[in-house]
């Protein structure tokens, strides 16, 4: 019950604040909100929402995995892009039959993301650079590397844009009604995460570390080892999302295409909203994806800039963070 | 390769980071973990441009930037101190809010998308002996010794550090922990406002969506690298500014831009490693 109230209060507060902002720009809030809902879930919009939800839910899960143990991975963008570019390289340059290449490309994406995130974990364990900082700092060189690759060695010769050539016909993940079949992979990862979280010792150790880090250490949980494992799982998932993105439409790597839509940051917000619980993170990610795709519909219908939905998302999290503190204190007193 | 203009462009690159990093150092000293510097900088940029455009005076722009960024930092202050929310969650969310809000406002206020630049927009202009630098650049350098003296030679600074190191002890001695923490977050917001004004009206005169591009995050790193000491923070920001300026130089001799873009982050990471290794060796085993 408290949990419901915990979410409901910030949602209402964010909607009220958004309504004030809408009134200030001279728009009927109900019309704008109506346009968001019908745009996100209407027959024309549901496909967009799902297509957007795949990377957001994937990244949300990736960032939720270490967050469950109280570790914040801020390097999702670098891991995502590195996974994408690795999958692309396999798809373009490794010989062999199409389906085998697709599997290899997905694996390459997972491995690249996992290795890069694990490197950040090693930076914390061995060199004392906090995870928050090591993940963040490592993210930028990865993005620069990808930007360099698609401008020079892997550039599409027939185009003036910084993008790679398209993957050949057989080396692609097909689409169903505009949604990549990669959606099944993302759902599978979330299912695995849910099972590990709820049913295995590893999931329990992670949660204990999140609840009480000192107690966890006292109880014999090897924190450095756990950090490497969680970060590898996190980066691997981010890399998979990147691989799915290039193996799906438009079947190539375009510089900035995975960064500009803010999949990583919206995913992080979703994971924070759900306190990294597997199903909650999925729900929150779909909710945020719907808000974002609904925002585009609202912009078309009412001239209100779509960024309103980005404001709503952030405000919601701010209210949630603030009220969770209040509830925490009340519970402590009782 | 190394000449006066290299340092001049390093100065330009480091000023917004220095302001934000000093803000972060103040907060750190009072025991507040502030990662919302990026958002405060961006709000400062927008405030500066809006103020300058409406009044035709760059200095009104600076004042508006300071007010806007200070008001914005209330989110972290109220959320983390009064409501006891998680500062990391609040910081991440308020950084994203700044991106969304300024992009929303640039479209509703100026009716344009992406970036806003206009002949009516007044820049800060040049000042003093170093060509190409605004008054705010010198102000950022003055702020370093001023904050160092304040923190280490003034009773106010001693109490502030007490609040950061032993809040219960400070509180039992009659120091109002809440007041001090609110004070540093708001003062940090004001400093970020100055940094944002320099970024938007200093060497260029425009507002672009997400124009801070990670500088606030670099400031968070500079706070770590400089161990939250104003002089250390200055050195860290200088290192970053030099790496960025040197990168531009290397582009001139044919190195691709993407390689030099990454340079400041790699340099900072290596500097963090080295400083930690040195510190570990310094500790008795």
From CA A293, how far away is CA A308, in angstroms rounded? 12
The answer to whether the CB atoms of A269 and B92 lie below 8 A apart is yes
Is the minimum CB–CB distance between A145 and chain B shorter than 8 Å? Answer: yes
CB < 8 Å from B in window 15-44 of A: 21, 25
| Mean per-residue pLDDT of chain A | 92
Query: Between the CA of residue A47 and those of A190, B122, B257, what are the distances in Å?
Result: 20, 46, 38
From CA A211, how far away is CA A219, in angstroms rounded? 13
pLDDT at A333 over 50: no
Q: What is the pLDDT of residue B140?
A: 95
Phi, psi of A256 (to 5 degrees): 90, -15
Residue of B15, B31, B41 lying closest to B102 (CA atoms):
B41
Q: What is the pLDDT of residue B10?
A: 84
Residue A245 and residue A258 in contact, taking contact as beta carbons nearer than 8 Å: yes
Region A11-31 average pLDDT: 92
From CA B80, how far away is CA B11, in angstroms rounded? 33
Residues whose CB falls within 8 Å of the CB of residue A253, separated by 6 or more in sequence, listed in order: A84, A85, A88, A146, A150, A154, A163, A164, A246
- Nearest-CB residue to A137 (from B90, B94, B265): B265
Å from A140 to nearest chain B CA? 6
B209-250 confidence digits (pLDDT tens)? 999 988 999 999 999 999 999 999 999 999 988 888 888 888
pLDDT at A325 over 80: no
Structure tokens at A171: 């080396």
| Segments in A156-247 forming alpha helices (H) | 182-199, 201-211, 213-218, 223-247
**% chain A with pLDDT above 90:** 78
Q: What is the pLDDT of residue B280?
A: 66
pLDDT at B162 over 70: yes
- Give A257 or B4, the one with higher predicted confidence: A257
- Nearest-CB residue to B99 (from A127, A137, A310): A310
Q: What is the pLDDT of residue B105?
A: 94
A205 band by pLDDT with thresholds 50, 70 and 90: very high
Q: DSSP string spanning B215-269?
A: HHHHHHHHHHHTTT-HHHHHHHHHHHHHHHHHHHHHHHTT--HHHHHHHHHHHHH
From CA B107, how far away is CA A46, in angstroms rounded? 27
From CA A79, how far away is CA A139, in angstroms rounded? 7
Residue of B nearest to A72 (CA): B88
Peptide bond into A250 cis (omega under 30): yes
* Residues in chain A within 8 Å Cβ distance of B266: 141
DSSP A164: P
* Residues in chain A within 8 Å Cβ distance of B262: 140-141, 144-145
* Residues in chain B within 8 Å Cβ distance of A20: none
β-bridge mates for residue B198, sequence order = none
DSSP A174: -
Q: Measure the CA angle with vertex A5, ends A2 and A11; round to 5°.
A: 150
Q: What is the pLDDT of residue A330?
A: 56
What burial letters (b/e) apply to B95-133, b meaning 16+ CB within 10 Å? bbbbbbbbbbbbbbbbeeeeebeeeebbbbeeeeeeeeb
pLDDT at A120 over 90: yes
Other beta carbons less than 10 A from residue B285's beta carbon: 4
Other beta carbons less than 10 A from residue A152's beta carbon: 11
Rg, chain B, Cα only: 19
What ipTM describes this predicted complex?
Answer: 0.90
β-bridge mates for residue A254, sequence order = A163
A1 band by pLDDT with thresholds 50, 70 and 90: very low
Q: What is the pLDDT of residue A327?
A: 65
Residues in chain A, total: 334
The answer to whether the CB atoms of B273 and A127 lie below 8 A apart is yes
Q: Which helix (H) or strand (E) holds A315?
A: helix A307-333
pLDDT at A165 over 90: yes
Residue of B78, B83, B222 to mutate, testing the A interface (most A Cβ within 10 Å of its Cβ): B83
pLDDT at A235 over 50: yes
Q: What is the pLDDT of residue B93?
A: 94
Q: DSSP string spanning chain B?
A: --SHHHHHHHHHHHHHHHHHHHHHHHHHHTT-----HHHHHHHHHHHHHHHHHHHS-HHHHHHHHHHHHHHHHHHHHIIIIIS---HHHHHHHHHHHHHHHHHHHHHHHS--SSEE--TT-------SSSTT--HHHHHHHHHHHHHHHHHHHSHHHHHHHHHHH-HHHHHHTT--HHHHHHHHHHHHHHHHHHHHHHHHHTSS--EETTTTTTHHHHHHHHHHHTTT-HHHHHHHHHHHHHHHHHHHHHHHTT--HHHHHHHHHHHHHHHHHHHHHHHHHHS--
Residue at token pair 């930007």: A147
Q: What is the pLDDT of residue B284?
A: 47
pLDDT at A85 over 90: yes
pLDDT at A331 over 80: no
Dmax over CA atoms of chain A, in Å, equals 68
From CA B146, how far away is CA B161, in angstroms rounded? 16
From CA A23, how far away is CA A273, in angstroms rounded? 27
Residue at token pair 């103040």: B26
Is the minimum CB–CB distance between A303 and chain B shorter than 8 Å? Answer: no
Query: Between the CA of residue A309 and those of A51, A167, A268, B65, B88, what are the distances in Å?
Result: 17, 34, 16, 25, 22
Pairs of CB atoms within 8 A across A/B: 136
Q: What is the pLDDT of residue B62?
A: 98
Å from B247 to nearest chain A CA? 13
The answer to whether the CB atoms of A322 and B78 lie below 8 A apart is yes
Q: What is the pLDDT of residue B251?
A: 83
CB < 8 Å from B in window 304-333 of A: 305, 307-311, 313-315, 317-318, 320-326, 328-329
Å from A236 to nearest chain B CA? 22
From CA B97, how far away is CA B194, in angstroms rounded? 20
From CA B38, how far away is CA B210, in angstroms rounded? 9
The answer to whether the CB atoms of B104 and A307 lie below 8 A apart is yes
The answer to whether the CB atoms of B86 and A324 lie below 8 A apart is yes
């Amino acid at each position: 019950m408290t949990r419901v109230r915990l979410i409901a209060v910030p949602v209402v507060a964010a909607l009220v604040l958004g309504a004030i902002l809408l009134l200030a720009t001279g728009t009927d809030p109900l019309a704008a909100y109506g346009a968001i809902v019908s745009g996100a879930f209407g027959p024309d919009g549901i496909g967009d929402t799902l297509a957007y939800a795949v990377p957001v839910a994937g990244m949300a899960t990736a960032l939720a995995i270490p967050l469950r143990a109280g570790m914040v991975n801020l390097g999702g963008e670098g891991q995502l892009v590195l996974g994408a570019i690795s999958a692309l390289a396999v798809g373009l340059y490794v010989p062999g039959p199409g389906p085998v290449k697709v599997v290899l490309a997905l694996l390459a994406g997972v491995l690249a993301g996992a290795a890069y995130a694990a490197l950040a974990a090693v930076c914390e364990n061995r060199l004392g650079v906090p995870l928050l900082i090591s993940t963040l700092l490592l993210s930028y060189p990865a993005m620069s590397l990808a930007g360099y690759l698609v401008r020079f060695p892997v550039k599409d010769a027939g185009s003036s844009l910084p993008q790679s050539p398209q993957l050949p016909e057989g080396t692609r993940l097909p689409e169903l009604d505009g949604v990549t079949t990669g959606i099944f992979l993302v759902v599978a990862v979330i299912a695995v995460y849910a099972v590990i979280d709820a049913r295995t010792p590893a999931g329990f150790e992670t949660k204990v570390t999140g609840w009480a880090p000192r107690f966890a250490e006292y109880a014999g949980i090897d924190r450095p080892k756990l950090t490497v494992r969680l970060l590898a799982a996190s980066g691997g998932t981010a890399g998979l999302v990147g691989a799915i993105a290039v193996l799906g439409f438009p079947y190539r790597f375009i510089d900035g295409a995975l960064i500009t839509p803010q999949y990583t940051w919206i995913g992080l917000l979703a994971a924070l909203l759900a306190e990294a619980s597997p199903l909650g993170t999925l729900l929150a990610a779909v909710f945020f994806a719907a808000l974002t795709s609904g925002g585009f519909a609202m912009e078309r219908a009412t001239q209100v800039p779509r960024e309103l939905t980005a404001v709503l998302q952030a405000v919601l999290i701010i209210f949630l963070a603030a009220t969770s503190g209040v509830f925490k204190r009340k519970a402590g007193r009782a | 390769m190394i000449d006066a203009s290299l340092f001049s462009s390093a100065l330009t690159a480091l000023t917004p980071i220095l302001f934000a990093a000093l803000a972060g150092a103040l907060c750190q000293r009072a025991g507040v973990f502030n990662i919302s510097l990026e958002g405060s900088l961006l709000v400062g940029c927008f405030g500066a441009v809006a103020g300058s455009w409406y009044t035709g005076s760059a200095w009104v722009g600076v004042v508006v930037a300071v007010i806007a960024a200070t008001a914005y930092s209330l989110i972290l202050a109220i959320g983390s101190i009064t409501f006891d929310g998680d500062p990391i969650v609040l910081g991440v969310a308020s950084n994203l809010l700044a991106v969304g809000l300024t992009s929303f406002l640039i479209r509703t206020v100026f009716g344009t998308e992406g970036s806003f630049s206009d002949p009516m927009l007044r820049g800060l202009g040049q000042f003093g002996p170093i060509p190409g630098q605004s008054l705010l650049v010198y102000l950022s350098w003055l702020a370093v010794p001023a904050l160092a003296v304040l923190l280490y030679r003034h009773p106010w600074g001693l109490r502030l550090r007490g609040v950061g190191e032993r809040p219960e002890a400070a509180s039992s001695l009659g120091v109002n922990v809440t007041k001090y923490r609110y004070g540093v977050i708001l003062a940090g917001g004001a400093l970020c406002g100055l940094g944002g004004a320099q970024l938007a009206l200093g060497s260029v005169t425009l507002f672009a969506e997400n124009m801070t591009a990670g500088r606030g995050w670099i400031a968070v790193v500079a706070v770590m690298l400089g161990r939250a000491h104003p002089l250390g923070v200055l050195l860290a920001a200088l290192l970053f500014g030099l790496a960025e300026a040197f990168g531009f130089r290397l582009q001139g001799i044919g190195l691709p831009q993407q390689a030099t873009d990454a340079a400041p982050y790699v340099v900072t990471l290596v500097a963090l490693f080295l400083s930690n290794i040195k510190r570990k060796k310094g500790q008795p085993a």
